[in-house]
Amino acid sequence: MNASDVFVIGGGIAGLSIAWRAATRGLTVTLADPDPGARATRASAGMLAPVSEVTYTEEPLLRLGLASLERWPAFAGELEAASGIPVDLRGDGTVEVAYDADDLAQLDELAAFEEKLGLRVERLTGRQCRQAEPMLSPNVRGGLLARDDLWVNPRRVAQALQQALQNAGGRIVRERIASLDDLSAGHVVVAAGAWSPSLLPGLPIRPVKGQILRLRGPRGFLSKCVRATVRGSEVYLVPRDDGEIVVGATMEELGFDTRVTAGGVYELLRDAREIVPGITELDLAETFAGLRPGTPDNLPYVGRHGGVWVAAGHHRAGVLLAPLTADAVVAGFFGEADLMPECSPARI
Ligand code: GLY
């Protein structure tokens, strides 16, 4: 390998963002991945929804999510300008809806928590939910409108980051790095998601499988991002500008298994149909499964560990936390203040 200031292992959204940010600060950067953007980032729906996405007892993760959400509009704007690739950042609002009385009680608790945090959230009756998003089922009992949540197309983001990195002088090598030995760089960064422990044995990151579907409908079929709890299980429907609807996602602890199963697809479609009955008319364009990198406390590891930098373990929040993670790691290269002290690998 040629020596660089920075050598990043892993071309998911975390590794690509770190590499791009480092290159824009004048560092020479090499990123290695056999197929950048092809694993968890490719599976991801791209919701930037810190409150509804984390268990709301996890306040450190919530704080990080809110801090990274604030960075997203500028990050997306700079990325689009640097790459010429639109990333579909949308903020048309998210409706979180409840299907039965228990789901509604859970949503009420979430609303109370969001209000306590001073977040803008409106409680909606079933009728108001349908006014906000006309495709919702008449059975929806009530919901919340979160106007500040955003979402983005992670596949576009990964493509844009590769382009922007190369435009900034960075190099992408399509290789799998099996060992940290013999890497000569000022800073080596392990950002290999669920595969990070193969480079750093003892790092407590495990794969958490998520099956996800892509439906194709007419443009504007859904105007808002829809999240729901249906008899206790969570489902989300994320619309793209081109008519694609991403429906996700299962949570399965099955090791490195990326099979798409009939049961997984059935459960997603069953729950999504309860909330938006019209989806049964759409094309089933793609099924996919990715591996979230889970950690014991659901916080990522971002910081120095075993002589290298690590940026992995972002579990359900990889896309949301990418701008903050990139700024935190690059700040670390320059000896600046730690932006994610909660995520120090020292807690292992
Ligand atoms: N962030 C969505 C998921 O992990 O399913």
For residue 158, what are the domain limits?
4-87+153-205+296-347
Check whether residue 312 and residue 184 sit in a common domain. yes
Check whether residue 160 and residue 172 sit in a common domain. yes
User: What pLDDT, in 10s, does the model give residues 64-100?
Assistant: 999 999 999 999 999 999 999 999 999 988 999 998 8
Contacts of 8 (CB under 8 A, 6+ apart): 15, 16, 18, 19, 22, 29, 30, 31, 32, 189, 191
User: What pLDDT, in 10s, does the model give residues 245-274?
Assistant: 999 999 999 999 999 999 999 999 999 999
| Residue nearest ligand 1's atom 4 by CA | 316
pLDDT at 182: 87
Check whether residue 62 and residue 190 sit in a common domain. yes
Tell me the whole-structure pTM to 2 decimals. 0.96
Q: Supply the DSSP symbol for 15.
A: H
Check whether residue 263 and residue 235 sit in a common domain. yes
Print burial letters for 143-177: b (CB count within 10 Å at least 16), e (below 16): bbbbebbbbbbbbbbbbbbbbbbbebebbbeeeeb
Interval between CA 192 and ligand 1 midpoint (Å):
18
Q: Is the pLDDT of residue 276 over 80?
A: yes
In short, whether 249's Cβ falls inside 6 Å of ligand 1 is yes
pLDDT at 54: 65
Q: Comparing 21-25, 56-60, 231-235, which segment has the lowest mean pLDDT?
A: 56-60
User: What pLDDT, in 10s, does the model give residues 178-200?
Assistant: 999 989 899 999 999 999 999 99
pLDDT at 248: 96
pLDDT at 56: 66
Domain boundary among 279, 294, 309: 294
Q: Is the pLDDT of residue 288 over 80?
A: yes
Interval between CA 176 and ligand 1 midpoint (Å):
26
**CATH code of the domain covering residue 309:** 3.50.50.60
Check whether residue 15 and residue 143 sit in a common domain. no
Check whether residue 286 and residue 316 sit in a common domain. no
Query: CA–CA distance from 208 to each of 38, 64, 159, 227, 334 (Å)?
Result: 16, 21, 24, 20, 33
| Residue nearest ligand 1's atom 3 by CA | 316
Check whether residue 182 and residue 108 sit in a common domain. no
Check whether residue 117 and residue 254 sit in a common domain. yes
How far is 147 from 217, CA to CA, in rounded Å? Answer: 24
Q: Is the pLDDT of residue 50 over 90?
A: no
Q: Which amino acid is at 231?
A: R
In short, whether 46's Cβ falls inside 6 Å of ligand 1 is no
What beta strand segments (E) does the chain contain? 4-9, 29-32, 47-48, 94-98, 121-125, 142-146, 150-151, 171-173, 185-190, 206-216, 225-230, 233-239, 244-248, 283-294, 301-305, 308-312
Interval between CA 336 and ligand 1 midpoint (Å):
31
In short, whether 292's Cβ falls inside 6 Å of ligand 1 is yes
Query: What percent of the chain has pLDDT above 70?
Result: 99
Number of structural domains the chain divides into: 2
Q: Is the pLDDT of residue 340 over 50?
A: yes
Print burial letters for 72-107: b (CB count within 10 Å at least 16), e (below 16): beebbeebbebbebebbbbeebbbbbbbeeebbeeb
pLDDT at 310: 98
Pocket residue to mutate for ligand 1, from 52, 53, 55, most atoms within 8 A of Cβ: 53
In short, whether 53's Cβ falls inside 6 Å of ligand 1 is yes
Check whether residue 135 and residue 224 sit in a common domain. yes
Interval between CA 211 and ligand 1 midpoint (Å):
10
| Residue nearest ligand 1's atom 1 by CA | 316
Interval between CA 18 and ligand 1 midpoint (Å):
21
Interval between CA 1 and ligand 1 midpoint (Å):
35
Interval between CA 12 and ligand 1 midpoint (Å):
15
Check whether residue 224 and residue 340 sit in a common domain. no
How far is 277 from 136, CA to CA, in rounded Å? Answer: 7
Check whether residue 162 and residue 242 sit in a common domain. no
User: What pLDDT, in 10s, does the model give residues 52-71?
Assistant: 776 667 889 999 999 999 99
Domain boundary among 263, 279, 294: 294
What beta strand segments (E) does 94-149 contain? 94-98, 121-125, 142-146
**CATH code of the domain covering residue 230:** 3.30.9.10
What beta strand segments (E) does 99-223 contain? 121-125, 142-146, 150-151, 171-173, 185-190, 206-216
Q: Is the pLDDT of residue 286 over 90?
A: yes
Pocket residue to mutate for ligand 1, from 54, 292, 298, most atoms within 8 A of Cβ: 292
Interval between CA 49 and ligand 1 midpoint (Å):
10
How far is 86 from 89, CA to CA, in rounded Å? Answer: 8
> Which tops the pLDDT comparison, 325 or 230?
325
Q: Is the pLDDT of residue 171 over 90?
A: yes
Check whether residue 106 and residue 222 sit in a common domain. yes
pLDDT at 1: 42
How far is 236 from 139, CA to CA, in rounded Å? Answer: 17
In short, whether 210's Cβ falls inside 6 Å of ligand 1 is yes
- In this structure, the number of other CB atoms found within 10 A of the CB of residue 253 comes to 10
| Residue nearest ligand 1's atom 5 by CA | 249
| Residue nearest ligand 1's atom 2 by CA | 316
Interval between CA 44 and ligand 1 midpoint (Å):
7
User: What pLDDT, in 10s, does the model give residues 116-162?
Assistant: 888 888 999 999 999 999 999 999 999 999 888 999 999 999 999 99
What are the tokens at 327?
């700024």
